[in-house]
Amino acid sequence: MRSFTKIVHGRSATLVLSVLLVLCAAVSAAAEALSEEQVKAAFLYNFAKFVAWPAGAFAGPHDPIVFGVLGKDPVGDAVQGLSGRTVQGRAVVVMRYQRVLDVKVCHVLFIGRSEQDRIEDDIQTLSGTPILLVADSEQFARRGGMINFVLERNRVGFEINLESMKRSKLVVNAQLLKLARTVY
Amino acid sequence: MISFPLLRSYACALLLLAFLGSGGQAGAQVEDPSGSRNADITELSIEDLMNVEVYGASKFSQKVSEAPSSVSIVTSQEIKKNGYRTLADILRSVPGFYVTYDRNYSYVGVRGFGRPGDYNSRVLLLIDGHRTNDNIYNQAMIGTEFILDVDLIERVEIIRGPGSSLYGSNAFFGVINVITRRGRDLKGNEVSGEVASFNTYKGRLSYGNRHQNGTEAILSGSAYDSKGDRLYFPEFDPAVSTDPRATNGGFSDNGDYDRSQKLFSTVAFGDFTLQGAYASRTKGIPTGAYGTDHNDARNKTVDIRSYGDLKYEQSVSAKIDLTVRLFYDYYQYTGDYAYFMTSGVMNKDQANGTWLGSEIKFVSRVGDKQHLIVGGEYQGSFRENQQNYDVDPYASYLDDVRRSRIMAAYLQDEITFSKSLILNAGVRYDHYSTFGGTTNPRLALIATPADKSTVKVLYGTSFRAPNDFELYYRYPGTSVANPGLKPEKITTTEVVFEQYLGDHLRALVLGYYYQIKDLINYGTDDVTGLSQFQNLEEVTAKGSQAELEGKWANGVEARISYTVQRTKDQLTGDPLSNSPAQMGKLVLNVPVMKEKIFLGMEEQYVGRRKTDTRPDGSWDFVSGFYLTNLTLSSIGIMPRLEASVSVYNLFDKLYGDPIPYQDFNLPATSNPVMTIQQDGRSYRFKMTYAF
């Protein structure tokens, strides 16, 4: 019978300590990767490039495009960062809304996590208005929302409800449809 | 003086504190809404954005915390970053799991239960929902014998606790579901090569894509060849052993070889998915198992496993999804056992299995409040053959031909009473042509008292059907069959508490109490006095586990866990063999260079374990051990090239795994092999190129 006695290497302890030091240094020096929120905000910005709004959605050719965030959501802060850029020749303005009734002039609306329980009412209220409704909530697109983020294998994807978009007279570029995980 | 293992645990604790501090800070920085770095990523196209890997709080998908069990997930990224070579390596990293290797097969231990001599029949192993446990030993193959190349894994979901209410037999302690990569994950070709210690080489060629018309395919082939280590067995060293097989100074020179070829393919078209897999593995047995000759490279097992699985998924209506599955499975095992030194023969042990099955499943959402699953399964085994014979002079000891069938129906309902309370109730009835029927329920109450807290109270039973080996294997003069075996039964109660701490940390504490009845073990037949598998034992197992997991926006990921468990044989009052009372795990992944170079570090502790019991009732203890593995991987330095260097068992720790006392065919030796020494420090270098 072999016995497996504990062997204490002084050398090993030194090695462990140096590994720890390297790791700690690595942790503090670690470069930041992209956060999910930032990626989602970038998606919102990109969606706007692929959607055509009906004539009445903008008062004039140089009116800003309004990105709204309804309720509380970490994505909100990242969307704030889009302010000042341009899409389709229009300046981006970011608005935050507490309640769905506050949403007036808006083109791309991200419905935040805090709206989870009211999401169907929100869809009801906003349906038919020329606002691109985006959320991050299971079943959102299926229930009549327009674009829903899905996180799969650490990557952000999206699903589209084409019917809802048509109902709101939003025209979506075929390119975007092709990239969607699911089109309802 | 502080002992080294103790020092190391202090160091780990310090390290954890260190990275909690710095990781938390980094997370806070990312949430800084200044948006300065948004400038870069808004320039990316949607296609590029879809390929960006993200780290964030919602990475802990809601489904995990709502699952009626405690679930661990290991992703392909973690597999790469930590240099996992086999499914066994992956399971070793999972809280509460341990793996025993007898240099022939790898065996998974769960909840303190990993008895030497049992095949992996108390864990159900699925690939994309397809049952891989075979129809003769019901073995989940997790080492190099696993049917799938680990490189083709997208993620592994480890679902703890009884799963018979949904999955039937073998889902005794848990279910391991391996999700494979799809064509779209490759978008072209991939070639991969590995060189590792002990003259180990591996190559893989894969193709995958999704076409405009929606057809998606992946096709992959791999080959693996390892010469293996030169191993020393004092039991066979003529200088210190009187064993009649002792020779060659106790060394086994060429016996540890391991070779495999694997093919895998999935094609999806419309609502259909067709998957096929094939693996053939040949493993030398260097350990003199079953009283075979020492240092004879002819001792080996060959396992050939394949299956074809056709799945049809369709939404019958907006609220009902239908899945139909048809499958065909094949398994062949051949063991070559050299007994030239003792009886002058080569003995062959064989098993042949073929089975066909189908499954139909409806998933329905009844309003928003109910989620109903109804399904049925049929499995017909039309070949379950076991043979044992000597080659020359020919003598047959066993030629057993069987058929059997299994029918089952199941129902599960998930009722959402309110946002904070979910009840998950399920029941399944299985009917076996061998032993009759068994009904297994599961009840889970999942409460979310606060936004970031989840409490689960789980109760369930599971069963394990006796396998053909236990029912029918017999050897003249040694053992007799027992076709009257009943299934093993387990009743479990478990409480899980999960708490998210801020956006980046998840803590989990669980406790469980299991009662196992009619456990199958070797006993003595009253009539013949020969050994026989019998429903002998009653075992209780209890334990608790704590986990802390963190994922930060800067790419730092860490998981630390500690498990305390006790098993008790109700007959003897002793703990089970190969049952560590304590286990600890640390997995730490740190980006060394932004999105390009990662360092993966693993620390595993397995407490001391009892060996199997000798015929005279004695046993030993195998010391507990700490293992350290390091992997440095480059994922993005060159656009299409991934490379990694891994060191396993960094400190060259000497440790062993208990194996069963199995020299029952042999002139009794006073010094049987009871423990198998595991690999010391070893290295692997791997490169993967996509084109």
Give per-residue pLDDT as tens, B518-528.
999 888 888 88
Mean pLDDT over B254-278 rounds to 95
- Band (pLDDT 50/70/90 cuts) for residue B517 is very high
* Whole-number Cα distances in Å, A85 to A57, A69, A80: 19, 17, 11
Residues 193-252 of B with CB under 8 A from A: 234
**Across the interface, which of B37, B54, B593 has its CB nearest the CB of A155?**
B54
Give per-residue pLDDT as tens, B202-215.
999 999 988 878 78
Residue A174: pLDDT above 90?
no
Alpha-carbon distance of B555 to B548, in angstroms, equals 17
Total count of residues recorded for chain A = 184
Task: Please indicate whether, in this complex, the C-beta atoms of A5 and B677 are within 8 angstroms of each other.
Answer: no
pLDDT at B89: 97
**How, if at all, do strands B123-127 and B174-180 pair?**
parallel
Alpha-carbon distance of B504 to B501, in angstroms, equals 7
Give per-residue pLDDT as tens, B385-395.
999 999 999 99
Task: Please indicate whether, in this complex, the C-beta atoms of A8 and B4 are within 8 angstroms of each other.
Answer: yes
Give per-residue pLDDT as tens, B299-326.
999 999 999 999 998 878 777 889 999 9
Give φ, ψ of B681 to 5 degrees. Answer: -60, 135
Q: Which helix (H) or strand (E) holds B91?
A: helix B87-92
pLDDT at A24: 44
Residue A115: pLDDT above 50?
yes
- Band (pLDDT 50/70/90 cuts) for residue A2 is very low
Residue B171: pLDDT above 70?
yes
Whether the CB of B671 is below 8 Å from some CB of chain A: the reply is: yes
* Average predicted confidence (pLDDT) for chain B: 87
First-residue to last-residue Cα distance in chain A: 66
Q: Which of B3, B42, B242, B674 to mutate to test the interface with A (most CBs of A within 10 A)?
A: B42
**Across the interface, which of A80, A82, A155 has its CB nearest the CB of B50?**
A155
Task: Please indicate whether, in this complex, the C-beta atoms of A151 and B59 are within 8 angstroms of each other.
Answer: yes
Q: b/e per residue, A102-118, with b = 16+ CB within 10 A?
A: ebeebbbbbbbbebeeb
**Across the interface, which of A24, A30, A81 has its CB nearest the CB of B38?**
A81
In sequence order, what are the residues at sequence separation of 6 or more whose Cβ sits closer than 8 angstroms to the Cβ of residue B344? none
Give per-residue pLDDT as tens, B557-607.
899 999 999 999 998 899 999 999 999 999 999 988 877 899 999 999 999
Alpha-carbon distance of A8 to A26, in angstroms, equals 28
Cis peptide before B393 (omega within 30 of 0): yes
Alpha-carbon distance of B254 to B230, in angstroms, equals 7
In sequence order, what are the residues at sequence separation of 6 or more whose Cβ sits closer than 8 angstroms to the Cβ of residue B40? none
Largest CA distance in chain A: 89
Give per-residue pLDDT as tens, B456-481.
999 999 999 999 999 999 988 888 99
Whether the CB of A21 is below 8 Å from some CB of chain B: the reply is: no
- Chain B residues whose CB is inside 8 A of the A35 CB are 30-31, 54-56, 553
Mean pLDDT over B622-637 rounds to 91
Give per-residue pLDDT as tens, B12-43.
444 444 333 333 333 333 333 333 333 467 77
Q: Which of B66, B590, B631 to mutate to test the interface with A (most CBs of A within 10 A)?
A: B590
Q: Which of A55-64, A111-120, B122-131, B184-193 has the highest mean pLDDT?
A: B122-131
Alpha-carbon distance of B140 to B106, in angstroms, equals 9
> B103 in the Ramachandran plot: left (φ > 0), alpha (ψ -120 to 50) or beta?
left
Mean pLDDT over B144-169 rounds to 92
Alpha-carbon distance of B124 to B131, in angstroms, equals 7
* Whole-number Cα distances in Å, B152 to B7, B170, B194, B264: 38, 24, 15, 9
pLDDT at B364: 85
pLDDT at B663: 57
Residues 90-109 of A with CB under 8 A from B: none
Give per-residue pLDDT as tens, B401-414.
999 999 999 999 98
Single-letter code of the amino acid located at A66: V
Lowest mean pLDDT among A21-35, A115-129, A154-168, B452-466: A21-35
Give per-residue pLDDT as tens, A33-52.
467 788 899 999 989 988 99
Among B97, B85, B227, B79, residue whose Cα is nearest residue B144: B85
